[in-house]
C-alpha cells in the first residue's frame, strides 16, 4: 500500500511539473495579454460567482433617496446579472413601523439605509449582521462610527455626521490678533476683547430652540466621551442634576447672554437670520452646524476664505461633536446575506462613494477616497476627524427625544430658569418619558 502511494505521488509530481513548465512558458510569451485581461481586485470583490438568481430587498427612507441610489444599484446589477434589487422606498415617518412589523412577522428585508444610532435606540443591535470581517473595514477613516454595540455592523456613508461647533470669522480674528481658543477661559478672553472693540462676539438665534441647544449639546457630549455616565442615567442609577459638569456648561451659555457677549435680539431671531449675520460680519462667531461654512458663501462669495470652524470650547479638551452618520446595514435574518455583502462591497468602492459625494458632499468614509473637500471642510477633517478628536452627540446617547430639554434651555437664556432648574425639570420629564417607554430601571 505504501509503495502504491509512493508511485501515485511520483506521477502527480511529474504532471504538476509539466503544468508548471507550460504555465511559465505561456506567461513569458503572453505577459502583456494576460495582464490586460486580469480583472482588478476591486471588481472581483464586488462580482458574484454564478448562482441561482436572487432579489435583495433594500429599505430606503424617502428622505434618503437621490439619483445616485439607482446609478450605483443599476451598475451593480449590470455586473451581477443574477442579483436583482427591490428598492423599498418608505415615507420617513413610517420606516420604523414597517421594519419593526417585518421583523416581528419574519418577512425580514435584506438591507436598510438608516442612521447608525437607530440600531441602538430604535432597533436591537442583534437585528443587524456583523460586518467586521468585510474587506472595506480596514479602509474606514472612523471605524468607531460604524459600530453598533462595539461591533462594526454598518457601512457608513461618511466618516462623521455633520459637525456641531463654532463657525468663526478668520479675518476678524486675524485683525484682532486672536487665536482659536483651547478652553472656556481663552474663549471668554476673546469675547471680552471683541466686545471692547464694538464687535459682537457670539451670534445667537434663540427664537429656535434647536439653535439654543447647540452649546450645551456640544459641551455635554464632550464631557460624556469615554465615560459611562449616560449608561447610568439611562438606567436610572444617576440623574442629570447629579452631573455638576452639565450645570457648569449650561452656566456658560447663560454667562454669554448675561455678560452681553451676544446680539441683543437673540430671543427674537431664528436660524433664518444666520446667513446674513455671518455674511455681513455682524458677529465674529456662532455655535452651529459646520455646513454654514459652505452655505454662507453661496450668498456672500467673499466669505469663502473668511470662515473657519473649531470645536466648542466648553471643556479643557474640546473635541468636535458629530451625530451618527447615515449608513447601510444588512439584517441578521436576511435570506441572502452573501449577496447583500457583495452589494455593500460595491457601495464601498471609491467610484460609488464619489457618485454620492458629487450630490451630497461630506467627510469621506474611506482612507483612500479621491473626493476633494473644500478648504474649510478639509481643515475640520484633518484637525479633528482623521486624528480621532471627535465624540458622538448627547442626543444620540439619551434614550428619549430631547425636545423638552431644548425648551428648558431657551427658558434659561430668557431669564426664566437657572442651570440647576433646567436639569431638575429635564430629569422629571426624562423620567416620565422613560416610564412611558417601559425602560428598565424606571
CATH assignment at residue 211:
3.40.190.10
Tell me, yes or no, whether 121 lies in a domain. yes
Look at residue 246 and tell me whether its pLDDT is greater than 70: yes
* Within a domain: 43: no
Flag whether 347 is in a domain: yes
Q: How many domains does the chain have?
A: 2
Same domain, 202 and 299: yes
Same domain for 134 and 214, yes or no, is no
The answer, yes or no, to whether residue 269 has pLDDT greater than 80, is yes
132 lies in some domain: yes
Q: Which residues contact 206 (CB under 8 A, 6 or more apart)?
A: 212, 266, 267, 410, 413, 414
What pairing do the DSSP bridges indicate for beta strands 326-330 and 111-115?
antiparallel
Please indicate, yes or no, whether residues 130 and 167 belong to a single structural domain of this protein.
Answer: no
pLDDT band at 5 (very low <50, low <70, confident <90, very high): very low
Query: Residue 218's closest CA among 163, 168, 255?
Result: 163
Across all residues in the chain, what is the average pLDDT? 88
More confident residue, 361 or 315: 315
For residues 210 and 289, membership in a common domain is answered with yes
Q: What's the pLDDT score for residue 124?
A: 87
> Is the confidence at residue 21, as pLDDT, over 80?
no
- Residue 37 falls inside a structural domain: no
C-alpha cell belonging to residue 46: 464586488
30 within a domain of the structure (yes/no): no
- The tens digit of pLDDT for each residue in 97-148 reads 999 999 999 999 999 999 888 887 788 889 999 999 999 999 999 998 899 9
In angstroms, what CA-CA distances link 271 with 35, 46, 201, 327? 57, 44, 17, 28
Shared-domain flag, residues 340 and 310: no
Answer yes or no: do 246 and 100 share one domain. Answer: no
User: Which domain does 281 fall in, by range?
Assistant: 163-321+401-436
In a domain, 441, yes or no: no
The sign one gets for the Cα dihedral 223, 227, 231, 237 is negative
| Same-domain pairing of 362 and 333 | yes
Q: Is residue 42 part of a domain?
A: no
Q: What pLDDT, in 10s, does the model give residues 74-83?
A: 999 999 999 9
pLDDT at 213 over 60: yes
What number is the average pLDDT over the span 164-181?
A: 98
Q: How many CA atoms lie within 13 A of 436 on its CB side?
A: 9
Give the mean model confidence (pLDDT) for residues 13-35.
Answer: 35
Give the lowest-confidence range in 22-31, 176-185, 206-215, 313-322: 22-31
Q: Are residues 156 and 79 in the same domain?
A: yes
Identify the residue with better confidence: 231 or 17.
Answer: 231
Q: Are residues 226 and 299 in the same domain?
A: yes
Same domain? 285 vs 355: no
Is the per-residue pLDDT at 220 higher than 90? yes
pTM attached to this predicted model: 0.74
Residues 80 and 142 in one domain: yes
Q: Is the pLDDT of residue 410 over 80?
A: yes
Whether residue 292 sits in one domain with residue 417: yes
Give residue 113's Cα distance to chain centre: 13
Amino acid at each position: 500500500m505504501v509503495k502504491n502511494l509512493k508511485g501515485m505521488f511520483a506521477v502527480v509530481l511529474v504532471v504538476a511539473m509539466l503544468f508548471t513548465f507550460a504555465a511559465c512558458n505561456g506567461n513569458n510569451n503572453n505577459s502583456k495579454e494576460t495582464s490586460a485581461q486580469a480583472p482588478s481586485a476591486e471588481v472581483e470583490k464586488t462580482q458574484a460567482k454564478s448562482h441561482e438568481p436572487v432579489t435583495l430587498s433594500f429599505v430606503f427612507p424617502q428622505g434618503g433617496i437621490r439619483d445616485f441610489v439607482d446609478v450605483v444599484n443599476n451598475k451593480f446589477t449590470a455586473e451581477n446579472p443574477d442579483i436583482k434589487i427591490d428598492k423599498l422606498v418608505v415615507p420617513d415617518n413610517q420606516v420604523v413601523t414597517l421594519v419593526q412589523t417585518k421583523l416581528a412577522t419574519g418577512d425580514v428585508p435584506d438591507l436598510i439605509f438608516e442612521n447608525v444610532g437607530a440600531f441602538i435606540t430604535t432597533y436591537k443591535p442583534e437585528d443587524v449582521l456583523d460586518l467586521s470581517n468585510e474587506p472595506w473595514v480596514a479602509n474606514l477613516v472612523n471605524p468607531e462610527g460604524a459600530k453598533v454595540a462595539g461591533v462594526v455592523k454598518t457601512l457608513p456613508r461618511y466618516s462623521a455626521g455633520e459637525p456641531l461647533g463654532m463657525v468663526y470669522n478668520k479675518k476678524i480674528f486675524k485683525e484682532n490678533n486672536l487665536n482659536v481658543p483651547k478652553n472656556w477661559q481663552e474663549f471668554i478672553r476673546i469675547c471680552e476683547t471683541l466686545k471692547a472693540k464694538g464687535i459682537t462676539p457670539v451670534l445667537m438665534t434663540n427664537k429656535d430652540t434647536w439653535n439654543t441647544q447647540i452649546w450645551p449639546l456640544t459641551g455635554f457630549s464632550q464631557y460624556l466621551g469615554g465615560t459611562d455616565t449616560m449608561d447610568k442615567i439611562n438606567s436610572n442609577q444617576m440623574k442629570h442634576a447629579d452631573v455638576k459638569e452639565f450645570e457648569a456648561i449650561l452656566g456658560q451659555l447663560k454667562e454669554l447672554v448675561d455678560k452681553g457677549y451676544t446680539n441683543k435680539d437673540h430671543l427674537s431671531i431664528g436660524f433664518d437670520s444666520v446667513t446674513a449675520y455671518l455674511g455681513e460680519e455682524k458677529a465674529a462667531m456662532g455655535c452651529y452646524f459646520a455646513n454654514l461654512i459652505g452655505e454662507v458663501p453661496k450668498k456672500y462669495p467673499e466669505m469663502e476664505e473668511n470662515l473657519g470652524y473649531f470645536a466648542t470650547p466648553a471643556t479643557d479638551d474640546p473635541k468636535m461633536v458629530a451625530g451618527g452618520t447615515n449608513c447601510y446595514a444588512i439584517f441578521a435574518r436576511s435570506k441572502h446575506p452573501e449577496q447583500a455583502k457583495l452589494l455593500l462591497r460595491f457601495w464601498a468602492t471609491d467610484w460609488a462613494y464619489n457618485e454620492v459625494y458629487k450630490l451630497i458632499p461630506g467627510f469621506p468614509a474611506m482612507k483612500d477616497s479621491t473626493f476633494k473637500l473644500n478648504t474649510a471642510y478639509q481643515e475640520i477633517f484633518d484637525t479633528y476627524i482623521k486624528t480621532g478628536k471627535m465624540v458622538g452627540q448627547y442626543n444620540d446617547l439619551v434614550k428619549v427625544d430631547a425636545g423638552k430639554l431644548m425648551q428648558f434651555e431657551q427658558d434659561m437664556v430668557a431669564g426664566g430658569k437657572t442651570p440647576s432648574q433646567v436639569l431638575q425639570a429635564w430629569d422629571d420629564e426624562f423620567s416620565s418619558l422613560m416610564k412611558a417607554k417601559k425602560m428598565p430601571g424606571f
